[in-house]
Amino acid sequence: MSRRMSCSMTIEAVRDRTKTVTRRHVDTWKTLAVGDQLTLIEKGMGLPKGSKQVVLCEVEVTAVTIEPLSALNPAECAAEGFPSYTPFEFAAMWMSGHGYALPADEHSVNRISCRRIEWRYLPEVTE
């Protein structure tokens, strides 16, 4: 059974299959490896009682690296599902969502590492 990963901020990009990368806190997803399969879901935690997780799709991990958040470029923002964001705008949003003190500045972005996870979409299974 594959692990589940929430994509609550990029649901449409996952549905469109344009999102191929995610960045997570460096202390998470430590055992994830190339070849692992993930089930991408809308939301994993904080669901109202009786609600179920909504599965978006299945993916296979093609790369897992640790890199500085400052390594972002416009192509990476697009791969993350945020094509209109500048690298700094994306970094500031990412920092805010991962518990880092704001305001973000060039120095803080340079000091933060993240886990970059890349995937390919698996064919949809019809039953």
Instruction: Say how far residue 48 (Cα) sits from the centre of its chain.
Output: 23
Q: Look at residue 126 and tell me if it is in a domain.
A: no
Q: Look at residue 127 and tell me if it is in a domain.
A: no
As for how many domains the chain has, the answer is: 1
**Residue 11, pLDDT score:** 92
**Cβ-Cβ contacts under 8 Å for 109 (sequence gap 6 or more):** 68, 69, 70, 88, 91, 92, 95
Are 24 and 8 in contact, with CB atoms under 8 Å apart? no
State how far the Cα of 42 lies from the Cα of 57, in Å rounded to an integer: 10
CATH number of the domain enclosing 107: 2.30.130.30
**Residue 8, pLDDT score:** 85
Query: Torsion-angle region of residue 84: left (phi > 0), alpha (psi -120 to 50) or beta?
Result: alpha
Q: Look at residue 67 and tell me if it is in a domain.
A: yes
Q: What is the residue-level pLDDT of the chain in tens, covering all 127 positions? A: 689 899 988 999 999 999 999 999 999 999 999 999 999 998 766 666 767 778 899 999 999 999 999 899 999 999 999 999 999 899 989 988 888 876 666 677 878 899 999 999 999 876 6
pTM for this entry: 0.89
**Residue 100, pLDDT score:** 80
Residues of the domain holding 19: 3-121
Q: Look at residue 27 and tell me if it is in a domain.
A: yes
Compute the C-alpha angle 20/22/23, nearest 5°: 155
Q: Look at residue 29 and tell me if it is in a domain.
A: yes
**Residue 86, pLDDT score:** 94
Q: Look at residue 33 and tell me if it is in a domain.
A: yes
The model's pLDDT over 98-122, given as tens digits with 9 standing for 90+, comes to 888 766 666 778 788 999 999 999 9
Q: Look at residue 109 and tell me if it is in a domain.
A: yes
**Residue 5, pLDDT score:** 92
